[in-house]
Amino acid sequence: MGKFPKFAAQNKAMLQLQTIRENKENIIIALKKRNIDAAPILSKVIELDEKRRSIQTELDNTLAESNKLSKEIGMLFKSGKAQEANALKEKTAGLKEASKQLGDDLNATATALQEELYLIPNIPHDSVPAGNSEEDNEEVFREGDVPTLTENALPHWELAKKYDIIDFELGVKITGAGFPVYKGKGARLQRALIAYFLDKNTEAGYTEMQVPLMVNEASGYGTGQLPDKEGQMYHVQADDLYLIPTAEVPVTNLHRDDILAESDFPIKYTGYTPCFRREAGSYGAHVRGLNRLHQFDKVEIVRMEHPNNSYQALDEMVEHVKNILRELKLPYRILRLCGGDLGFTSALTYDFEVFSTAQDRWLEISSVSNFETFQANRLKLRFKDENGKSQLAHTLNGSALALPRVLAGILENYQTENGIKIPEVLVPYCGFDTID
RNA sequence: GGAGGAAUGGCAGAGUGGUCGAAUGCGGCAGUCUUGAAAACUGUUGAGGGUCACACCUCCGGGGGUUCGAAUCCCUCUUCCUCCGCCA
């Protein structure tokens, strides 16, 4: 009878139910940092879970009984006692009816439970500060000199036009707003940055991957973009595929449904992909130029880790991104995101921001996060621990780095009266040292 | 796009209505032997739900159906392979 308990058996909870059952009060306290009162939803979840389990038990018993009868019928037929067999058959009708009903109930309950669970965000790490908005993020590090620019220093969108390296209007013509066209040295600088980032990442032990730019629904659920950020992704309806909003989605999903060995850790990937984001409703001065786009390039790093090691891995990723920014000689700071600004799926996130001198503001260029078991639970990404038991792995990712704002930072901070200087480490990749 | 074939445990591969959660081989793990290793031999080895622990239940690509009973029969979807067509 492979019909009914499918959903219950393959519970795709984001928080594990057992964790919720055992730590309800702690979870409520932790989620307060996100300004969420989780008490009602957790109560509902626990109630639905209890209901689900009691229906399951009842169904199991019914199935056990009808399995037993079926076996007896089989034996009777074999030994030629057809009449007795037929008599038993009649007894199974009621059981069949009952298991059908119970199966339907179970599915309905499991689905309702699932829907509730999908609404609960990840539990913030202890170090996450409480807070409502980006104002409450905590600066934990700052480095690099802010250059002194000339009087008539320009923001990057002016520089892009002046040197004819990025054409926003042309992008509007062929696609729409937020799809810039990079031209000549601008295009070359993009390519140089991608190559440079990939080289830095592979040197640090990340394996380069080229992955699909469209993903199916299961992948979207796996990393948590669905159902939370449904409206953020471009959806190709004819084929029911989503354009990726970040390489995190396809790269992390490489290990969906995997059961790893402990010796497989650490798993470290890097990948360059364009990223597509609808950014519905974002307009205004802060999204000018390269500040916010519908299509942009990003080089991502992704790790799968043993739970004991994931915070050390997070630190390594932070150090790694720092190194890159040091080499580029860009002034930057690191923020620990507060509960109110923390992404739905993340337990702890460090944002890197580069200072745009000409715009006189900080631009986010990297976001490095530990998801702990949140994604792994949806992905069914597990490993065998030393006792041979399956445990959820931890997943992490970070941008190393997002191109447009790095480019904006370079253009603005490296501008001189004689053109834009190319950061030293990029010159070999560009083949020129000035844009003029 | 058209015509056929296939999908089983980490891998390979049996299994065409009942005692099959599934033979066998390889791989993995543990042990014997060995100073150690290899070889050989012995044992063990899928995932999930449920339970204090058992019991018990579910899963043979996904979904649905037939039947007292489905890996096995039917429908449907997906994926892969072969041939044809098209094509960077």
* pLDDT tens per residue across span A169-198: 999 999 999 999 999 999 999 999 999 999
A39 lies in the same domain as A156? no
Q: Are A244 and A278 in contact (CB under 8 A)?
A: no
A251 lies in the same domain as A331? yes
Domain-located, residue A127: no
A144 lies in the same domain as A240? yes
Q: Where are the beta strands (DSSP E) in A87-218?
A: 138-143, 166-167, 181-182, 207-208, 214-215
A284 lies in the same domain as A364? yes
Distance of CA A228 to the CA centre of its chain: 11
A70 lies in the same domain as A175? no
User: Mean pLDDT throughout A140-144?
Assistant: 95
Is A94 within 7 A of strand B by CB distance?
no
User: Mean pLDDT throughout A121-146?
Assistant: 93
A111 lies in the same domain as A236? no
Domain-located, residue A128: no
A33 lies in the same domain as A77? yes
Is A379 within 7 A of strand B by CB distance?
no
A111 lies in the same domain as A139? no
Q: Are A63 and A96 in contact (CB under 8 A)?
A: no
Q: Select from A83, A117, A151 the last residue of a domain.
A: A117
A104 lies in the same domain as A234? no
Provide the β-strand partners of residue A214: A243
pLDDT, tens digit (0-9, with 9 covering 90-100), for A321-336: 999 999 999 999 999 9
pLDDT at residue A4 greater than cutoff 60: no
Domain-located, residue A155: yes
Rounded CA–C1' distance between A270 and B29, in angstroms: 33
Domain-located, residue A21: yes
Is A92 within 7 A of strand B by CB distance?
yes
Domain-located, residue A214: yes
Cα–Cα separations (whole angstroms), residue A116 to A45, A47, A125: 7, 11, 22
CATH number assigned to the domain comprising residue A93: 1.10.287.40
Is A99 within 7 A of strand B by CB distance?
no
> Which range marks the domain in which residue A200 is found?
134-435
Between CA A68 and CA A197 the distance in angstroms is: 63
How high is the ipTM of this complex?
0.85
From residues 386-425 of A, list those within 7 angstroms of strand B by Cβ: 390
From residues 217-276 of A, list those within 7 angstroms of strand B by Cβ: 259
Nucleotide nearest to A86 (CA to C1'): B68
Output the pLDDT for position A261. 84
Nucleotide nearest to A59 (CA to C1'): B57
Q: Select from A85, A117, A149 the last residue of a domain.
A: A117
Structural domain count, chain A: 2
Domain-located, residue A363: yes
Output the pLDDT for position A285. 60
Q: Select from A84, A117, A150 the last residue of a domain.
A: A117
Comparing A426 with A1, the larger pLDDT belongs to A426
A18 lies in the same domain as A158? no
Between CA A372 and CA A3 the distance in angstroms is: 33
How much is the mean pLDDT over chain A? 89
pLDDT-based confidence at A80, cuts 50/70/90?
Answer: confident
A419 lies in the same domain as A283? yes
A165 lies in the same domain as A104? no
Nearest Cα neighbor of A160 from A279, A298, A288 is A288
pLDDT, tens digit (0-9, with 9 covering 90-100), for A389-401: 888 999 999 999 9
Output the pLDDT for position A284. 65
Nucleotide nearest to A67 (CA to C1'): B69
